[in-house]
Structure 1
Amino acid sequence: MTRATGRSLELYYIDGRPDGMLTAEMFNWTGHVLMTPRTQIAIALARPEASYAGIYLLLGEQEGEPLAYIGEGEDISARIRSHDVKKDWWTSAILITAAANKLNKAHVRYLEARLIAEAKSIGRMPLENSVAPSLPGLSEADQGKMEAFLENLLVVLPAVRVDMFIQRARSAPKAAVTAPVAAWSEQEARFVLENKKHNLTAYAVLDGGEFIVEAGSHARLNWESKAARVHGYGLLHAELKTSGVLQQDGERCIFAQSYAFQSPSAAAAVVDGRPANGTTEWLNVATRQTYKEWEASRIEATQVMEPA
C-alpha cells in the first residue's frame, strides 16, 4: 500500500479578511487559484493573472438551489465580464491560471471538459453548463501535463471552499446490512445504528480517518425535521438522493453506494432523517459501546504513561 504524501499549500488573504479575495498556490505546482466574492470582482479582474488563459468557476444559487458554471478563456477577465452582465445568480468566482501564462487554448479547453465531466459524475452541485464539451486533441505529453495539473487543482479547490469535486461515494463491494463483517481493509472499527421505530439498520466503518456508511444500509425516505431543512444535514440528505447515493426502497431509502461522511453525527442525521448525535447513536459492533465511549477508550489506551 502506497503511503500518502503530504503537500504544502499557501493561502494568501489579499486584503487580510477571511471573507475577501484570496489566492492559493502549492509548492512545486505552476497553477494559481484566485477566489473572489462578486462584490470584489472589479478589483479581481484588474489583477494581471485575470487576463491570462485559464478556467473559471462561477458559484451561487438560483431559486434557492446551489448552482455552478465552469468556463474557459484565453482572457479570463473578458469572459467573466460577459458573464457578469448575463448571469445574475453567481456570488463568487474562482480563476485558475498558470504562472507566466503557460496555459494555451487547447490546455484550458481540456481542463474545462475534464472539470465538467468530473462535476457531473460526482453530482454534488448542479451545473448551468448545458453541454459537456468533448476533449480537444492534445499530444500524449500535454495530456499527461494537464492530468497532473488537474490532480493538484482538485487538492487546492477545497482549501478555497469549493467542495463540489470531492467524491465521498466509495466503490467497495456492496454488503447486505446483516453481513457480520464489511469488506474494508485496515478498518479501525465497525459500528451499527438501529432505528427500530422506522425499521432502519445502518452499518459504518471508521477507515483511514473516514466515517463510511456501508452500501446496503437504510435511511429515512425524506428529511423529516424542520431543523436544517434549508442548511446543513437536510441539504446533505437531499443531495445524496439527487446524486443516487440514496435510492428509494419502499418506504425508506437504501445506500446504493458506500459513502464517507465528515462525522458520525452527519451520518446519523442522514440515516434518521433528522438532526442526531452520532457519538451516542452509533454502537461499536464488537463491544456495544457508543462511538463516544469507544473513542474515549481508544484515546485512553494511547496515552503515554509519565515516569514516576
Structure 2
Amino acid sequence: MGYGKSIELFLANGTADSLIIAELSNWNGKAIKIPRIEVADCKRDDIKEPGIYFLFCKEEDNTDSVYIGESENVKERLVQHIRDYSAEKEKYYWTTAVIFIGRDLNKAHIRYLEDRLVADARAAKRYAVLTKNTYGKTVLKESQTAAMNEFIDNIKILINALGYKVLEPMVVNDMATSIDNEKLYMSAGGTRAEGFVTTEGFVLLAGAVINEKISEKSLGKGAIALRKKIVESDKVKDWTTTEDILFSSSSAAADFVTGYSVSGPMTWKNAAGVTLKEIEAAESKND
C-alpha cells in the first residue's frame, strides 16, 4: 500500500464545471482543467507557460479518445487546435483540456513528457490516442530524467483524481491479495475465461474463448450492442479475446463470454471452486 496524498482543488470560477486547479502538496507542478469554451477568453498567465496538455474527446460511437501534446505556450496551442477544427484541418472535437505545467519546464522536458505519456496512454488501452507522432530522441541528463519521471508519476495521480483514467492500466502487476484482484475462472459450453474484480467493475483477461452465438431473447439490447462492437474490433480474433477488457460487472463479463444472460457472482469461481458470491460474503463478514 502506498502513502497517502493530499490534493488541493480550487474552483477558479466557483463551479465544478468550469476551470479547476489541482495541486499536490510538496510539488511545484499543477494541473489546470478547462472547458473548450473557456480557453479563448481565459486571462490566466499560467496557461501560457510551457507544458503538457490532454484534449479529451467523445467519438461518434461514444468511445473515449484523447490527444496528448506539448507546447511552450499551452494556451496559444489550444487556441490553434480550435482554429484548425473550424478550418477542417482537424477532425476531432475535444470538449475539455487538462494542462500540466511546472517550474522551469523547457522544450526538452515537455518533449520527453509528451513521448512518455503518449506511450503510457497507448499501453493502458483505455482511450484511443489521437497523437500521431512524438519527438522520441530527447536527451536529458540523468538527474533531469529522474525529475521528469517523478513529474509523470504526479501527472498520473492528478489526472486520475480529475476523473480521467487515460494513463492507468486495467491490470496492475503488483496487485495485493484481496477480492479486488484474486483471479477468477469460468467455463461453460466450450467457453472459458479468466478475470478479476476491480474498483471499476470486472476485467476479462486476454485469451478468453467466447461463444460465437448469442441469445437475443436472453441478452438485453445494450449487452448485444456492446458484444457486437467488441467482437468487431481488434480485441477479438477467432472468438478469442486479444487484450484485457473492462466490464461494468462480473455479470456483464460473463454475459459477453457465454452469449446469454448468467449470474456473474455464481458463474465466476476462484482456483478452489469458491464462487464470487461466496467470496464476497466471506469478505463482508471479515469487515
Please indicate the TM-score interval, normalised by the length of the shorter structure: 0.7 to 0.9
Q: Quote the residue 1:26 is aligned against.
A: 24
Alpha-carbon shift at residue 203 of structure 1 (Å): 2.8
Alpha-carbon shift at residue 217 of structure 1 (Å): 3.0
Distance 1:283 1:186, change over 3 A: closer
Alpha-carbon shift at residue 153 of structure 1 (Å): 0.6
Distance 2:231 2:12 in 1: 33
Q: Quote the residue 1:71 is aligned against.
A: 69
Secondary structure at 1:227 match in 2: helix
For structure 1, which runs of at least 5 residues remain unmatched after alignment?
A: 173-183, 304-308
1:297 to 256, 269, 282: 282
Amino acid at match of 1:119: A
1:137 lines up with 2:139 in the alignment: yes
Distance 1:164 1:207, change over 3 A: closer
Q: Note the aligned Cα RMSD (angstroms).
A: 3.6
Contact 1:170 1:260 in 2 (8 A): no
Matched length: 274
Distance 2:270 2:159 in 1: 35
Q: Deviations for 1:214-255, whole angstroms, at most 9, x for unmatched residues? A: 55433356997531677xxx289739954xxx4423xx223x
Deviates more, 1:109-118 or 1:278-287: 278-287
1:125 lines up with 2:127 in the alignment: yes
Deviates more, 1:134-143 or 1:267-276: 267-276
Secondary structure at 1:47 match in 2: coil
Distance 2:147 2:22 in 1: 20
Contact 1:187 1:206 in 2 (8 A): no
Distance 1:279 1:55 in 2: 42
Q: Quote the residue 1:38 is aligned against.
A: 36
Amino acid at match of 1:160: L
Amino acid at match of 1:191: L
1:217 lines up with 2:208 in the alignment: yes
1:48 to 45, 50, 71: 45
1:59 lines up with 2:56 in the alignment: yes
Q: Quote the residue 2:265 is aligned against.
A: 279
Q: Deviations for 1:146-173, whole angstroms, at most 9, x for unmatched residues? A: 011001111211111222211114669x
Contact 2:205 2:245 in 1 (8 A): yes
Amino acid at match of 1:238: I
- Pairing 1:95-110 to 2, within 5 Å after superposition: 95-98=99-102, 101-110=103-112
- Pairing 1:178-189 to 2, within 5 Å after superposition: 186=177, 189=182
Distance 1:36 1:217, change over 3 A: same
Contact 2:251 2:264 in 1 (8 A): yes
Q: Report percent identity of matched pairs.
A: 27
Distance 1:70 1:299, change over 3 A: same
For structure 2, which runs of at least 5 residues remain unmatched after alignment?
A: 87-92
Distance 2:228 2:70 in 1: 29
Contact 2:21 2:30 in 1 (8 A): yes
Contact 1:118 1:165 in 2 (8 A): yes
Contact 1:170 1:257 in 2 (8 A): no
2:184 to 191, 195, 199: 191
1:238 lines up with 2:242 in the alignment: no
Secondary structure at 2:164 match in 1: coil
TM-score under structure 1 length normalisation: 0.73
